[in-house]
Structure 1
Amino acid sequence: MKDAKLINWAELPSELIYSILLCLSVPDRLANARNVCRSWRRVCQDPLMWREIEMRDMGTYEEAMDYYRAAEAMCRRAVDLSQGGLLEINIEYFGTDSLLAYIADRSSNLKHLVLTECDHITGMGLLEAVTKLTLLERLELSQFYFMELDLESIGLSCPLLKTLKLNNVGYYDLDDECDDDALAIAKTMPGLHHLQLIGNRLTNTGLNAIVENCPHLKYLDLRDCIYINLVPQ
């Protein structure tokens, strides 16, 4: 088409560049988009670009450790660029206690923390980080099979918590029923609206405590909680 005009990407309005770059992954923004031109680099350095950090699908267990180190370095860089404005972060596989501490020290406004299958995050590391995140409203943990989780301390540290999702978290290779998690939730998290306890070992006693002490609860997911009996006696 002879009359077609070439687009100068550098001259796009900042608002449009911002919308385009938000569609890119964190690695693409850090490694590629910021090098396109000065205007794109300027937008990439805007703290508003880093209010949400999505770091899922960054690798698998079969990949080399240097890949995980690169992912962690990118995550730290993104946290730095947020300049304390980070509100939501989602990390899969490569998280560590050290990275979590780094995030907590620089992101006191964080509201959503989602961690999936991060074998190098311990219960103590999580607790130390969460105690600094007093504005946290959403905490999701998935596939932490051998984590000792101090839910009572987490509840006391995060009075604004509205969503808690625990997907196969804890020593669930044991065969004994246990209501410790449920009772801690009932005791310290009265403001919960959404609760997911997949694979937990709670019994009817723990379930009743949650129902009685969490009056705002709207969503309750108890899949694979084998010690609960909802059949009337």
Structure 2
Amino acid sequence: MARRESAKREEEGPKVCINEALTDDELRAVLARLEREEEKDTFGLVCKRWLRLQSSERRRLRARAGPAMLRRMAHRFSGVVELDLSQSASRSFYPGVTDSDLSVIAAGFRILRVLNLQNCKGVTDSGMIILGNGLQMLQSLDISHCRKLTDKGLTAVALGCCSLRRFHLAGCKSITDDLLQALSRSCSHLEELGLAGCNNITDSGLSFLANGCRYIKYLDVSKCSKIGDVGVSRIAEVSSSSLKTLKLLDCYKVGDKSIFSLANSCHNLETLVIGGCRDVSDGSMKSLALACANSLKNLRMDWCLNIADLSLSCLLSNCRYLMALDIGCCDKITDSAFQALGMGGFESDLKVLKASNCLRITVTGVGTILQYCKSMEYLDLRSCPNVTRLGCEQAGLQFPEHCKTNFEGSLSESNAMVDMFFEGKPE
């Protein structure tokens, strides 16, 4: 028996350990085929060699750590290009990342492309200067609601990170047009800029920006009360072929001239937010509907009090890819506008319709919407005095099973699924 076992082992040959048989490149190929992060973490549990490879191949990292831990992470995860140290708004009392942490990041994550510091209240201009000097390959930076920052620190970022393509600064209220001038000089490849709530920005700043940044795809200047037609028209003219998302929420100085400029130049526009722009009227919106008939997907124009049936009919009958529409508080709109849904020669893709506080819409109009919008997922009918749940039931209206219909509640309530449509963030 012993002889037979010995002979069998000789025939099979010596056993080879998998770590001896596979090269590092072959193990990296195996790791690359694992899609879920859990699977990749399990890969690293096999042995120290596999852990080292798994760590070096990691490209994204989300953490909350101080300087000592950040140094260890930088040593272990040498290939990280995306680092997320952001905080939720609910933790806004906690300073989060500090300037000392940014010193470690700039020294340890030298190939970093994406950095998210949203809601990190402890960051100051000194930390931004460190980033500008140390992370010259940075392409995306989100410092929204880091309220201690001013032009001094952010100009250092603009001048040091010339490859910047995505820059979000919502709520950084101390910045001025000087920063946009610096971006124009140094960041010619900038595509995405978020300035919501930066209310010191003016038309001059947007004109400065347009001089050097000519490929803007996404621009959010919501609640920038000093922005008007001059700045928006300049951006529309310069970024005509690239602009896909423009958000002008509560920019009350924006009127028809801006919309006509968009209609004349920006025929690839997909998402437009003009809620609260009360001087926008039917003539310009009809022009936009015809110019962007094959591109417009999401339109928010709540509180545009001069909008009536004429422009809405044109939008519904021409914009075949329209998915989300907000006409809340547009009290001139009547049921007649929705008759256009059957006149376009195409099946409507409308998934979201917010029509809250539209005083002249009745159950008849809702019936027309349901007849032609088979893809509807969310219908907001709050504070519509002529539309009630009982009235719809008595009229025999059948709402799709997958459609959430909102008849009640405060108009200040938001819905994450609905808000996502009007974000318009590039993929």
TM bucket, shorter chain: 0.7 to 0.9
- Aligned equivalents of 1:229, 1:90: Cα separation in 2: 35
Query: What residue identity is the alignment partner of 1:224?
Result: C
CA contact (8 A) 1:34 1:41 kept: no
1:193, 1:157 → 2: CA distance?
Answer: 17
Does the aligned pair in 2 maintain the 1:186–1:213 contact within 8 Å?
yes
- Residue number among 304, 313, 326 corresponding to 1:208 in the alignment: 313
- Is 1:198 paired with 2:305? no
Q: Which has the higher contact order (CA 8 A, sep 6+)?
A: 1
- What does residue 249 of structure 2 align with? 142
Q: Partner of 1:55 in structure 2?
A: 169
Contact 1:152 1:187 in 2 (8 A): no
Residue 129 of structure 2 corresponds to residue 34 of structure 1: yes
Residue in structure 2 matched with residue 114 of structure 1 by the alignment: 220
Cα deviation for residue 113 of structure 1 reads: 1.2
Which one-letter code corresponds to 1:152 in the other structure?
A: F
Relative distance call for 1:6 and 1:103 in structure 2 (3 A) is closer
Change (3 A) 1:157 1:7: same
* TM-score, length of structure 2 as denominator length: 0.44
1:189-231 deviation per Cα after TM superposition (whole angstroms, max 9, x unaligned): 2110111111123222321111111111111111111111232
Q: Give the drift of 1:40.
A: 4.3
Q: Identity over aligned residues, as a percent?
A: 18
Aligned to 1:129: 235
Q: Does 1:154 align with 2:262?
A: yes
Cα distance change on mapping 1:81 and 1:24 into 2, 3 Å: farther
Counterpart check, 1:87 vs 2:182: no
Whichever residue aligns with residue 283 of structure 2, its letter is D
2:271 is aligned to 163
Q: Deviations over 1:88-141 (max 9, x none)?
A: 112231211111011111111110111123233221332123201111011110
For residues 30-49 of structure 1, give each alpha carbon's deviation from its aligned partner in whole angstroms, at most 9, with x where no partner exists: 6424337964467552333x
Counterpart CA distance in 1 for 2:279 and 2:132 is 51
Measured in 1, the distance between the counterparts of 2:297 and 2:268 equals 11
| CA 1:219–1:96: 2 relative to 1, 3 Å | same
Q: Which amino acid aligns with 2:203?
A: D
Q: Which residue of 2 aligns with 1:23?
A: 117
Q: Could you report, residue by residue, the CA deviation over 1:12-47 in whole angstroms, capped at 9, with x for unpaired residues? A: 2423x444x44368x958642433796446755233
Residue of structure 2 equivalent to 1:182: 285
Q: How does 1:215-226 map to 2 (within 5 A)?
A: 215-226=320-331
TM-score calculated relative to the size of structure 1:
0.76
Structure 1 residues 60-75: aligned runs within 5 Å: 67=174, 70-75=175-180
Aligned to 1:14: 110
The 3-state SS of whatever aligns with 2:316 is helix
User: Number of paired residues?
Assistant: 212
Structure 1, unmatched stretches of 5+, are 60-66, 173-177
Higher strand share: 1
In structure 1, give the amino acid aligned to 2:263: G
User: In angstroms, what is the RMSD of aligned CA positions?
Assistant: 3.2
Q: Distance in 2 between matches of 1:183 and 1:113?
A: 23
| Structure-2 separation of matches of 1:169 and 1:226 | 15
Looking at structure 1, the residues matched to 227 and 185 of structure 2 have their Cα atoms a distance apart, in angstroms, of 21
CA distance in 2: counterparts of 1:224 and 1:95, whole angstroms: 28
Task: Say which SS state the counterpart of residue 116 (structure 1) adopts.
Answer: coil
8 A contact 1:72–1:95 mirrored in 2: yes
Asked which structure has the greater CA Rg, the reply is 2
CA contact (8 A) 2:286 2:314 kept: yes
Question: How many Å apart are 1:185 and its aligned residue?
Answer: 2.1
- What is the rounded CA distance, in whole Å, between the counterparts of 2:137 and 2:230 in structure 1? 38
Whether contact under 8 Å (1:181, 1:202) holds in the other structure is no
Does structure 1 retain, via aligned residues, the 8 Å contact 2:297–2:323? Answer: yes
Distance across 2 between alignment mates of 1:228 and 1:166:
17
